[in-house]
Amino acid sequence: MNDFDYDALAGRVIFGSGRRREVASEVRRLGATRVLLIADPFDAARLKEFRELLGELCVATYTDVVQHVPRAKATLAVSLAREHGVDATVSVGGGSATGFSKAVALELATPQLCVPTTYAGSELTPIWGISEDGEKRTGRDLRALPAAVIYDPELTLGLPVEVAGPSAMNALAHAAEGLYAKGTNPVTAVIALEAIRVLARHVPLMCDAPDDLEQRSHVLYGAYLAGATLAVAGTDLHHRTNHVLGGLFNLDHGKMNSVVLPYALAVTRPAIPEAYARLSDVLGGDAATSVYALARRINAPASLAEIGMPADGVERAVPLVVAACENDVRPLSEVQVRAFLQAAYEGAAPEESLGA
């Protein structure tokens, strides 16, 4: 057996339907009394509900939540928090809302309570991301790690299938990389395998029956496990590529992840024979092919072209992806990265385009 290091991360998780109603008591548990509510404005009624649940604990609200946390907007959120002397943030929304909460925590060291409404998993990690000048910078800082998370599957019921499916594929990508990214360890790998099992089984069922709270609950649980693996194992080629593409072309995070994963697995495969075999085993067939089939089963977009990457995007991204993956489990040459990105751009089955 190989040696390993495992830095377990602290954090309280509250999981269950309706448990968003415990938000005020969870804030008090953090010892906080002046909260900045950071809310994705997708649902005005939900925003009102959280304001009421928090009552006098809520001293300010920030709702200009957009993807990839642009620096200028993050600065506005920090100023708002400073102006109101907040001592905690509560974020309600997907990875974008969580990202703004982290941006505030990095500046003000405010504890964070996150209430996720997608399957992004950011709420479990100390990883932050801020975009500026067409580039997304990410880093790891324990100040960015949320103190507590409330998972309430009822909040995900309104997430349209075309957002929910790709967002869940992003969770699957976290768990897949959780098996082989450089920070992994045997305990995290066990959690990753369970996440993959739960997601592969329940994501299609959830997409078939989006109003089924039971299926939504399973997928949210799988996403939670996947986020926990991302927090410890970190990322590899797949997510590094997505950060490059997100920064360059502002592509939708979930959809982009859903498209890229089969190709990232196929091209990483020679460096991860054991992890690839375990992944294939839990998916019930070749990993890259199975993930590609799962994405087609839920009607997720099939290619980077389809989600708006420009035709010259591959060439623009090649040098950045080569540089980004130089410390990954399989560093790639320019030729290999070009083939990988071109395959994802076109969207053919990975066994046809990359010989998976």
Summarize as ranges the residues that interact with ligand NAD (CB under 6 A): 40, 42, 67-68, 93-97, 99, 117-118, 120-122, 125, 127-129, 155-156, 158-159, 163, 167, 170, 253-254
Residue type, 241: T
Both tokens of 4, joined, read: 């390993």
Which CB, 63 or 342, lies closer to ligand NAD? 63
Minimum gap (Å) between residue 103 Cβ and ligand NAD = 11
Minimum gap (Å) between residue 257 Cβ and ligand NAD = 8
Minimum gap (Å) between residue 88 Cβ and ligand NAD = 19
User: In which element (H, E) is residue 62 found?
Assistant: strand 58-62
Burial of 109 (0-12, 13-18, 19+ CB in 10 A): exposed
Minimum gap (Å) between residue 234 Cβ and ligand NAD = 10
DSSP of 125-194: -SEEEEEETTEEEEEE-GGGS-SEEEE-GGGGTTS-HHHHHHHHHHHHHHHHHHTTSTT--HHHHHHHHH
Which CB, 167 or 289, lies closer to ligand NAD? 167
Which CB, 68 or 238, lies closer to ligand NAD? 68
Which CB, 99 or 165, lies closer to ligand NAD? 99
Minimum gap (Å) between residue 253 Cβ and ligand NAD = 4
Residue 57 and residue 34 in contact, taking contact as beta carbons nearer than 8 Å:
yes
Residue 273 and residue 179 in contact, taking contact as beta carbons nearer than 8 Å:
no
Which CB, 146 or 354, lies closer to ligand NAD? 146
